[in-house]
Amino acid sequence: MGEQVTRSIEFKSQSSDSTNPAEMHLTAFSQQEMKTRALKSMLTFWLIAAICVLIPIAHFVLVPGFFIGGIVVASRRWKTEEEGRDATGICPDCGKDICIPLDKIAELPQWHDCPDCSKPIALQPPEAGKTSQS
Ligand SMILES: [Zn+2]
C-alpha cells in the first residue's frame, strides 16, 4: 500500500556549511489509503483495548489508554500523506555514502546525525536558501 517516491534533497553539514545532493525515499498515500490506514490503526488499538478488559486492575488504565490512543493515532494517520523511509547520499563531513532512517517523518528540513561520523546533518529541500534559481 502506498506509492514509493524518490525526492531530491540536500545534505547540509552543520559545521562546514557544505552541501551534497541526496535522495529521500518516501511512501505517498492516496486519500483512500490514508482513510484505510487510519481506520485500521484505530481498530487495532480498540482490539487491544478490548483484550485489556480481561486484565484485572490494569484495565482501568489500559482500556481508556488504548481507546484514546487509537483515536490519536488514527487522526494523525488521517492527515499523513507521506511517510519518510530513509535518505541516502554522501555525508558532507566524512564523504561516506550514508543511509539515514527517517522514522516515518517526511517533512523538511529535519536534522540527523551522520551514522558514520556522528556529525549533525540537515536534510533540506534542494536549493534551500538560494533565491535566484528557480
Ligand atoms: Zn559523516
For 70-129, how does the pLDDT look when each residue is reduced to its tens digit (9 = 90+)?
Answer: 999 999 999 999 999 999 999 999 999 999 999 999 999 999 999 999 999 999 999 755
The answer to whether position 119 is within a domain reads yes
95 and 66 share a domain? no
Q: Using pLDDT thresholds of 50, 70 and 90, give the confidence band for residue 1.
A: confident
pLDDT, position 102? 96
How far is the C-alpha of 25 from the C-alpha of 40, rounded, in Å? 24
Q: How far is the CA of 86 from the centre of ligand 1 (A)?
A: 16
Q: How far is the CA of 113 from the centre of ligand 1 (A)?
A: 8
The answer to whether position 134 is within a domain reads no
Residues contacting 17, CB < 8 A, separation 6+: none
Domain containing 69 equals 42-78
At residue 24's C-alpha, the angle toward residues 19 and 26, to 5°, is 160
Total structural domains within the chain: 2
74 and 87 share a domain? no
CA-based nearest residue to 87, from 108, 109, 103, 102: 102
The answer to whether position 25 is within a domain reads yes
CA-based nearest residue to 2, from 24, 25, 28: 28
Q: How far is the CA of 4 from the centre of ligand 1 (A)?
A: 26
Mean confidence (pLDDT) of the chain = 93
pLDDT, position 132? 45
The DSSP code for 66 is H
134 vs 14: which has the higher pLDDT: 14
Taking 70 as the threshold, does the pLDDT of residue 134 lie above it?
no
Q: How far is the CA of 114 from the centre of ligand 1 (A)?
A: 5
87 and 116 share a domain? yes
The answer to whether position 36 is within a domain reads no
88 and 74 share a domain? no
Q: How far is the CA of 121 from the centre of ligand 1 (A)?
A: 8
Angle between helices 59-78 and 31-52 (to 10 degrees): 180
How far is the C-alpha of 97 from the C-alpha of 29, rounded, in Å? 29
pLDDT, position 43? 97
74 and 95 share a domain? no
68 and 91 share a domain? no
